[in-house]
Amino acid sequence: MKESEYQKPLPTISSLNRPYWEGLKRRELRLQKCDGCGLTWYPPAPLCPGCWSRKFTWTRLSGHGRISSWVVFHQAYFRSYEGDIPYNVVEVELDEGPRVLANLLGANADIRCGMPVEIVFDDVTEELTLARFKTRPSR
Amino acid sequence: MANFDLKDRAAIAGVGNSQYGRRLMRSPIDLAADAIAGALDDCGLTRDELDGMIVSFGSPIGADGDSVAQLLGLKLRTCNQTWAHGRFTASCITWAAMLVNAGLADAVACLASVSFSSVRRPMMGGSGDREGAREAGGGHGEDPVYGMTSPGAGAALVARRYFDRYGCDSRALASVPVAFRRHAAMNPAAIMRESIDVEAHQRSRYVCEPLHLLDYCLINDGAACAIVTTSERARDLKKPPVYIGGMQGLPGGREEFIWAYPGLGVAQQSVFEYEAGQQRVYQMAGVTPAEVDALFTYDAFSIVAWIALERFGFCKPGEAAGFTQDGRIEIGGELPMNTNGGLLSEAHIMGWNHQVEIVRQLRGECGARQVKDAEVIQWANAYGDSLIYHK
User: ipTM of the predicted structure?
Assistant: 0.97
DSSP helix/strand/coil, A66: strand
Give me the pLDDT at residue B3, please: 57
Whether residue B157 is predicted with pLDDT greater than 50 in this model: the reply is yes
Tens digit of each residue's pLDDT (9 = 90 or more) over B92-123:
999 999 999 999 999 999 999 999 998 877 77
Would you place residue B196 in the very low, low, confident or very high pLDDT band (cuts 50, 70, 90)? very high
Tens digit of each residue's pLDDT (9 = 90 or more) over B278-321:
999 999 999 999 999 999 999 999 999 999 999 999 999 999 99
How many Å apart are CA B49 and CA B36, to the nearest integer? 12
Residue among B126, B133, B209 whose CB faces A74 most closely: B209
Pair B228, B40: CB distance under 8 Å? no
Which residues, in sequence order, are bridge partners of residue B143?
B148
Q: Which residue is closest to B165 within chain A, CA to CA?
A: A113
**Domains of chain B (ranges, CATH numbers):** 1-124+219-239 (3.40.47.10), 167-217+242-391 (3.40.47.10)
Which residues, in sequence order, are bridge partners of residue B295?
B337, B378
Pair B313, B281: CB distance under 8 Å? no
CB-CB neighbors (< 8 A) of A9 in chain B: 127, 132, 144-145, 149
- B87-93 mean pLDDT: 97
CB-CB neighbors (< 8 A) of A114 in chain B: 164
CB-CB neighbors (< 8 A) of B268 in chain A: 41-42, 98-99
Q: Which helix (H) or strand (E) holds B243?
A: strand B242-248
Q: Which helix (H) or strand (E) holds B265?
A: none
- The neighbour count for residue A19, using CB atoms within 10 Å, is 14
Ranges B98-102, B136-140, B165-169, B271-275: which has the least confidence: B136-140
- A34-47 mean pLDDT: 98
Q: Which residue is closest to A133 within chain B, CA to CA?
A: B146
Q: What percent of chain B has pLDDT over 90?
A: 91
Residue among B132, B136, B265 whose CB faces A68 most closely: B265
Nearest CA to B230 among B379, B381, B317, B105? B105
β-bridge pairing B10-17 and B221-230:
antiparallel
CB-CB neighbors (< 8 A) of A79 in chain B: 127
Pair B157, B163: CB distance under 8 Å? no
What does the buried/exposed string (b/e) look like for A59-82 if buried means 16 or more CB atoms within 10 Å of the residue's CB? bebebbbbbbbbbbbbbbbbebbe
Pair B246, B386: CB distance under 8 Å? yes
Pair B256, B383: CB distance under 8 Å? yes
- Which residues touch B190 (CB under 8 Å, ≥6 apart)? B20, B183, B184, B340, B341, B345, B346, B347
How many Å apart are CA A136 and CA A125, to the nearest integer? 26
| CA distance from start to end of chain B | 23
DSSP code, position A109? G
Whether residue B164 is predicted with pLDDT greater than 50 in this model: the reply is yes
Give the distance from CA B363 to its chain's centroid. 19
- B373-386 mean pLDDT: 98
Pair A92, A29: CB distance under 8 Å? no
Q: Do B208 and A8 touch (CB under 8 A)?
A: no
- A104-111 mean pLDDT: 96
CB-CB neighbors (< 8 A) of B140 in chain A: none
- The dihedrals phi and psi of B285, each to the nearest 5 degrees, come to -80, -15
Q: Looking at the whole model, is its pTM more than 0.90? A: yes
Would you place residue B9 in the very low, low, confident or very high pLDDT band (cuts 50, 70, 90)? very high
Would you place residue A139 in the very low, low, confident or very high pLDDT band (cuts 50, 70, 90)? low
Q: Does A68 touch chain B (CB under 8 A)?
A: yes
Q: Do A101 and B146 touch (CB under 8 A)?
A: yes
Tens digit of each residue's pLDDT (9 = 90 or more) over A13-25:
999 999 999 999 9
Q: Which helix (H) or strand (E) holds B129?
A: none
Pair B382, B276: CB distance under 8 Å? no
Let me know the angle formed at the C-alpha of B159 by B153 and B162, rounded to the nearest 5 degrees: 145
Q: What percent of chain B has pLDDT over 70?
A: 99
DSSP helix/strand/coil, A94: strand
- Which residues touch B290 (CB under 8 Å, ≥6 apart)? none
Give me the pLDDT at residue B1, please: 45
Taking only residues 71 to 100 of chain B, the set having a beta carbon closer than 8 angstroms to any beta carbon of chain A reads none
- B314-336 mean pLDDT: 98
Pair B304, B177: CB distance under 8 Å? no
Taking only residues 22 to 51 of chain A, the set having a beta carbon closer than 8 angstroms to any beta carbon of chain B reads 41-44, 49
Q: Which residue is closest to A94 within chain B, CA to CA?
A: B268
